[in-house]
Amino acid sequence: MGHHDLIKLFEIKAWIKEFNQVHQTSFKFIVDVDTQEGKTRIMIDQYGYYQRAITITKQEANDFKKKGYEMFVPDLIEFDKMLIIEYQEEPKMRKGAYLAIKGHDELSDLDKDAAYKRAHFKQLKIWESSKTQKQDLFQFLDN
């Protein structure tokens, strides 16, 4: 995750704050700031049971995997209301990189999408190229 990504995630969080003020709601999304503490990290098993895993050692991560858990770090998450927001960049070649592509397509996140659904999280994907990002977010929060 780069500097540009963090700027966009905090822009989305500012939109959420604006929505909260206008609609008198209290969404409390946590932003993935790409640190070791993993504030947005969740573990989801094959049955949809999820567990927050803010701080986790490599051994604990291995133990979770042995029990059938998968680990995910969403861009923004609201645990109380079971909501996840992912900022999606379309695939594009990185400058100066050999066969390195940054971004997502509709197929690259199928496992993650299925796990979020199993755990009953509602998910919004905000695409980098979308001209209606803020409107899409407000509609998602309004449902």
- 3-state DSSP of 55-115: CCCHHHHHHHHHCCCEEECCCEEECCCCEEEEEECCCEECCCCCCCEECCCCCCCHHHHHH
pTM: 0.85
**pLDDT for residue 13:** 98
Whether 115 is in a domain gets the answer: yes
Whether 78 is in a domain gets the answer: yes
Whether 84 is in a domain gets the answer: yes
Q: Are 68 and 46 in contact (CB under 8 A)?
A: yes
**pLDDT for residue 101:** 45
**pLDDT for residue 38:** 81
Q: How many domains does the chain have?
A: 1
**pLDDT for residue 95:** 62
- Alpha-carbon distance values, 2 to 65, 75, 104, 114 (Å): 28, 12, 15, 26
**pLDDT for residue 91:** 73
From first to last of its 143 residues, the chain has per-residue pLDDT tens of 567 789 999 999 999 999 999 999 999 999 998 766 788 999 999 999 999 988 888 899 899 999 999 999 999 999 999 999 999 987 766 565 554 444 444 545 788 999 999 999 999 999 999 999 999 999 999 98
Whether 30 is in a domain gets the answer: yes
- Residue 126's domain spans which residues? 3-138
**pLDDT for residue 104:** 46
Whether 125 is in a domain gets the answer: yes
Task: Give the span between the Cα atoms of 96 and 24, in whole angstroms.
Answer: 47
Whether 143 is in a domain gets the answer: no
Number of residues that make up the chain:
143
Q: Are 31 and 23 in contact (CB under 8 A)?
A: no
